[in-house]
Amino acid sequence: MTALHRWSGLVGLLATAMVPLAGQGYRVRLDSRLESVAWRGVAEDSIPATDVIAQPDGGFLTPDGHAARCQGRTCFFYRAGAIQRGVPWVTRADLALWGLGVNGLSARVNVRLAHDLRGEEIVWPAAQPDLLLDEGYLEYARRSITVRAGRQFLLGRLGAYGLDGGRVVLRSSGGWEVGGYAGWGLARGIAVPVTDPALNPLDDFQPRDRQVVAGVEAGWNGSRVDVHAEYRREIDPAVDYFVSERASAALTLRPVSRIRLTSGGTYDLAFGQLGTADVALSWLGQRVAVTVGGRHYRPFFNLWTIWGAFSPVAYQAWHGAVDVTPMPSVTLHARGERYRFEDTETATPTVDVEDRGWRYTTGISWRATPRWTIDAGHQAEFGPGAAALGYDGRVTFRPTDALTVGAHAARLRRPLELRFNDATVTSYGVDASYRPEAGWRFDLSGSTYHEDRDRPDAAAISWDQVRLSARFSFLIGSSADRLPLPRAVRGARP
Amino acid sequence: MIGRSRTVLAAAVLLLAAAGWRIADARPSGPAFDHDEHVGLFPGSCTTCHLGAAEEGSAIWPTAANCATCHDGTVEAVVEWAPPTSSPPTNLRFAHASHRRETRDSVPCATCHQPDGPRGAVTRGRAEDCVDCHEPGMPHLAATDRECARCHVPLAQAVALPEARIAAFPAPPSHDSAEFAFAGHGRLATASRGGRRPQPVSASCSTCHAREFCLLCHVNAPEVAAIQALAPDRRSLLLHAELEAPASHGAATFVTAHGGAADRAGAACATCHTQPSCTACHVAPAPGAVRALPMPGAGRAAGALVSRTPPVSHTAAFREGHGPDASSQPQACATCHVRTECLTCHRGGPSTGAEYHPAGFLTRHPAAAYSRQTSCADCHNTQQFCVTCHAQAGLGARNTLQAGPYHDAKGAFLVGHGQAARQSLESCVSCHVERDCTVCHSAQGGRRFNPHGPGFDAERLRRRNPEMCIACHGRAIPGMS
């Protein structure tokens, strides 16, 4: 019996046993999506080095025109492969139960099921395993204390982190809160243990045992200041060595009503390095909002991999953003950022790689009438590895309060630095969303992508594709948030 | 003259009929009485004809027979006049006979009824005349509570009072104060509680208002004794009331800071808000202050309508930059957002990317990913999510670095890949696994190329986890005894 089965059984038993209790509340949200996508794949191929044609720039081409990279007596290249098709059907169910006879006690379950309707191996990233328990825990929450036990995610400066274990947070009436958690950790970015076969790429670096995680946190929330700090360590129980040891701090200041300063960062105690950090100052007016700030980014790798020992360098960035609402129906926004990497101490005369970049986006949203909205945007970015220059637009029509239909188009020029893959992608799409009543939602959408790939060889494979998707979701519950709001118009007869 | 008067009277009757037949009944029918012409017949005394003003139980109006005594067609022309068949609709408590008795006949009729109109027409009594005696110097509508009740019955008891007159009730000057709509009217409504004869609600309120009027706003009506003390009467809804949100609600920080105020003064919130006011934003299970509020129902106002308005901090860029806010004040997020909303993106799986990324993001994700505009690993397991897709798209390395022709734009990329790798190692691992690199960067079976760069603290890492060192160096870790 897997841990997932055990948790499902426990939650099901609990739900069944608690149903008759008076005052019980529940909320069930089911979100089911079906998507169809197809694109041409590629096939790896090789050719003897004696068969390739040397080019003036030092490269090689196969006789049929594919750029090849040679190693010894063999040259490798990719040619057009079979059409890849996928019809992933993904359903996410979210259940919350409260009023279980103990005031403040609730149970939460969040499950994801994925299946490819074509009955073949799903060609979609992160679609395994088929059944995934994202969260499943019991919570006891009162004004001064919150206790959780079960599978849960911690969301904070140290990233979204999952664990099977417990967490306690104590709060004082003065705004202080302290807490701690401990348990067995999950892999980063997915609710499976690091030992799960779904993480095959870990391959021979895959740990034998799950890591044990423990952390403490403290914070204070005031009317003008919010501060939060956390320390977390992960231990490999097989060898009692660290998997990671990190700390974080976050601060928000609101010195006056419209000004806000947010800052914070992480420190990797294992590597002795500042991780990600940022500071931003915002002026938030009713018509104008301005934010300026800086950030420091360094990727985090735990000690189960050797990547951290490859000394990834950080970059520093300065950014600014402006949102303007000159009139109630029009919103303009613009953002920009410049960044530069620290010296990698690896420069060679043979390969020159960008070490700085910039990006900006601008956009406008115009609510032409209460039923029609027009959005347009422009994005450009340039930096190491890739660049992009694009425009997009969208028209949204809401003929009734329940129905929304829209059409969108975009054009993007996307050169890559390390690869002959300059391309222009043009996409069109339509979508519709129908919400017959609160909590119910039906969506349909379709879009096409047409790529003009500017490669100087035969590998300019068409990546054109059509994507269709359907979505159905509903939310039912017994709580007040499921009731339609009554009208409360002053001076009118009820 | 009489014919003209009849025409005028007929028009008046039609008008009055439009306003309500009871009003017509309350007026005498026939030509207007000329007091001046008859003054010689009834010198000095009104009660000769208006006996009811002096004697309880007697009619206030003379009868038609009294007129016919002279207007018999012989002595005087016959007049067609008849006294009203009912009392005029009023909310006055006043009765002439008892007033005369209580004042011991010290207030002559002319004190209130001035015979100075055309043909000696007697004016109706005015409220100001009452207040002149009962509370000298006080404007009528500012009279103290006991004086209202002295002259007026509560609205609910004035059953005959026409709706048009109720709708035209003048507002007292006290209602004009900015504070009146909030705490002010409550204090006035309960002002008489401490008197010698404590009342649950001020008589001055009940003069014009009934319970339904309070139910326009008061969610907590069943819990407010003053409101319950008012009799029900739907006619009170004829009075127009429009309540603006308190000034505190307009502050820029109100959305984010109202929780503390609600905790401290929950009862004040319950005046206008039911639970649905809060659950427009607050997700269940709602905070205690929300649960303490009543649900809408019979006997309560529906509650102020609250629209879900994002805080001003939620600008167009907030979705990508909400991390700092969320990490410093996680409880604030939980006010309006359920964890599912977080998990939808932070547990990014198949077909859920559209919740976060804009349409068509797939086509331009390389630029955003290379520089980690936002951290992909916050939502994706890069070892699974990126590698799976890149491998199917032909971008994945197949065990050896040399096999992948991805970097074909840089002819000598292999010998100069260090800078790209250290700048965007997360991009490398979206296609490569460790073994691709240890082909060269390993002291065990590799080519012993040192991958350690600036700031590398070998001893620090060895103390934390020597297993990582062993992966490439074996047990012979440099510098390790």
Q: How many residues does the structure list for chain B?
A: 481
Of the candidate ranges A284-293, A310-319, B442-451, the one whose mean pLDDT is the lowest: B442-451
**pLDDT value at A152 more than 60:** yes
Q: d(Cα A281, Cα A320) in Å, to the nearest integer? A: 9
0.90 surpassed by complex ipTM: no
Give dist(CA B257, CA A223) in Å, integer: 7
Asked whether residue B51 carries a pLDDT value surpassing 60, the answer given is yes
Q: Please tell me whether the peptide bond between B285 and the residue prior to it is cis, using omega within 30 degrees of 0.
A: yes
Are B329 and A289 within 8 A, CB to CB?
Answer: no
Q: How many CA atoms lie within 13 Å of B369's alpha carbon, on the beta-carbon side? A: 21
Q: Span B357-381, mean pLDDT?
A: 82
* Residue of chain A minimizing CA distance to B387: A201
pLDDT on residue B456: 86
Residues of A in contact with B348 (CB under 8 A): 126, 189
d(CA A169, CA B384): 32
Q: Between B212 and A123, name the one with better pLDDT.
A: B212
What is the SS3 assignment for B244? coil
- Confidence (pLDDT) at A126: 73
Cα(A463)–Cα(B474) distance, integer angstroms = 45
User: Coil, strand or helix: which one is A242?
Assistant: strand
Burial of B37 (0-12, 13-18, 19+ CB in 10 A): exposed
Report the distance separating Cα B42 and Cα B53, nearest Å.
15
Stronger pLDDT, A232 or A418, i.e. the higher one: A232
Closest among B456, B127, B292, B280 to A488, alpha carbons compared: B280
- Distance of alpha carbon B65 from alpha carbon B71, whole angstroms: 9
Residue B419 and residue A303: Cβ atoms within 8 Å? no
Examine the pLDDT at B31 and tell me if it is beyond 80: no
pLDDT over 60 (residue A22): no
pLDDT above 70 covers a percentage of chain A that reads 89
Which pLDDT belongs to residue A352? Answer: 80
- Element at A410 (helix H, strand E): strand A403-414
Closest CA to A296 of A271, A282, A319, A317: A317
At residue A291 the predicted structure's pLDDT band, cuts being 50, 70 and 90, is very high
Does B400 score more than 70 pLDDT? no
> Within 13 A of B223's CA, how many CA atoms are on the CB side?
12
Inter-chain CB proximity A291 and B317 less than 8 Å = yes
Q: What is the pLDDT of residue A293?
A: 96
Using a CB-CB distance cutoff of 8 angstroms, which residues of chain A are in contact with residue B378? 159-160, 189
Using one digit for the tens of pLDDT, what is the confidence trace for A340-388?
999 988 877 777 888 999 999 999 999 999 899 999 999 999 988 888 9
Q: How many CB atoms lie within 10 A of CB A449?
A: 21
Asked whether the bond before B405 is cis by omega within 30 degrees of 0, the reply is no
Mean pLDDT of B48-60: 82
Specify the higher pLDDT residue, A468 or B9. Answer: A468
Which residues on neighbouring strands pair with residue A332, listed in sequence order? A324, A364
CB pair distance less than 8 Å for A477 and B284: yes
Beta strands per DSSP E along B248-327 = none
Between residues 81 and 110 of chain A, which touch chain B (CB distance below 8 Å)?
A: 81, 84, 88, 90, 92, 94, 96, 98-99, 106, 108, 110
| Confidence band of B16 (pLDDT split at 50, 70, 90) | very low
| Cα(A474)–Cα(B140) distance, integer angstroms | 60
The answer to whether the Cα torsion of B306, B307, B310, B312 is positive or negative is: negative
Residues of B in contact with A384 (CB under 8 A): 370-371, 420, 423-424
Query: Which residues 6+ apart lie within 8 Å of A140 measured at CB?
Result: A102, A104, A105, A106, A146, A147, A148
3-state secondary structure B264-281: HCHHHHCCCCCHHHHHCC
> What pLDDT, on the 0 to 100 scale, is given for residue A7?
53
And the tokens for B195?
């008197």
Q: Are B329 and A252 in contact (CB under 8 A)?
A: yes
Instruction: Tell me which of A118 and A283 has the higher pLDDT.
Output: A283
Residue A481 is predicted with a pLDDT of: 43
Residues of B in contact with A69 (CB under 8 A): 402-405, 408
Closest alpha carbon to B244 in B215, B214, B222, B272? B272
pLDDT in tens, B145-180: 777 878 888 888 888 889 898 988 888 888 888 788
Q: For chain B, how big is the Rg over CA atoms in Å?
A: 44
Tokens of A302: 């735990």
Q: What is the Cα–Cα distance from A314 to A5, expressed in whole angstroms? A: 42
At B142, is the pLDDT very low, low, confident or very high (cuts 50, 70, 90)? Answer: confident
Q: What is the DSSP letter of A35?
A: E
| AA identity, residue B477 | I
Helix (H) or strand (E) holding B102: helix B96-102
Decide: A374 and A392 in contact? Cβ < 8 Å.
no
**Closest to B366 (Cα-Cα) out of A384, A443, A147, A203:** A384
The reply to whether B405 touches chain A by the CB within 8 Å rule is yes
Looking at beta carbons, which residues of chain B come within 8 Å of A68? 405
Q: How many other C-beta atoms are found inside a 10 Å radius of the C-beta of residue A203?
A: 12
Please answer yes or no on whether B465 and A236 come within 8 Å at the CB atom: yes
Between CA A101 and CA A111 the distance in angstroms is: 25
Position A136 pLDDT exceeds 90: yes
Distance separating alpha carbons of residues B318 and A322, to the nearest angstrom? 12
**Partner-chain residue, chosen from B285, B409, B418, that has the shortest CB–CB distance to A420:** B409
Taking the C-alpha atoms of residue A218 and residue A214, their distance in angstroms, rounded to an integer, is 14
Across the interface, of A241, A252, A289, the residue whose CB is closest to B328 is A252
Q: Averaged over A331-341, what is the pLDDT? A: 95
User: Both ends of chain B: CA-CA distance in Å?
Assistant: 133
pLDDT digits (tens, 9 = 90+) for A74-104: 888 878 888 878 888 889 898 888 877 787 8
**What pLDDT, on a 0 to 100 scale, did the predictor assign at position A411?**
94
Q: What are phi and psi of B65, to 5 degrees?
A: -70, -35
Say if A134 is an interface residue toward chain B (CB within 8 Å). Answer: yes
Chain-chain contact of B313 with A59 (C-beta, under 8 angstroms): no
Q: Using pLDDT thresholds of 50, 70 and 90, give the confidence band for residue A1.
A: very low
Average pLDDT, chain A: 85
Predicted local distance difference test score (pLDDT) of residue A118: 80
pLDDT digits (tens, 9 = 90+) for A167-224: 999 998 888 999 999 999 999 888 899 988 888 656 677 888 899 999 999 999 887 8
Closest CA to A111 of A149, A139, A150: A150
What percent of chain A lies above the pLDDT cut of 90?
46
Residue B106's alpha-carbon distances to B93, B101, B110, B115, B134, in angstroms, are 20, 9, 11, 18, 14
Under 8 Å between Cβ of A135 and A109: yes
pLDDT in tens, B69-113: 888 888 888 888 888 877 788 888 888 888 888 888 888 888 888
Local confidence band at A16 (pLDDT 50, 70, 90 cut-offs) = very low
Q: Decide if B100 touches A, using CB distance below 8 A.
A: no
What values do phi and psi take at B212, rounded to 5? -60, -30
* Residue B430 pLDDT grade (very low, low, confident, very high; cuts 50, 70, 90): confident
Cβ-contact B356, B348 below 8 angstroms: yes
**pLDDT higher at B304 or A382:** A382
- Res. B21 pLDDT band, cuts 50 70 90: very low
Closest CA to A25 of A482, A486, A484: A482
Which residue, among A190, A298, A493, would best test binding to B if mutated, counting the most B CBs under 10 Å from its CB?
A: A190
The answer to whether residues B112 and B126 touch, using CB atoms and an 8 Å cutoff, is yes
Angle, CA of B470, B475 and B477, to the nearest 5°: 75
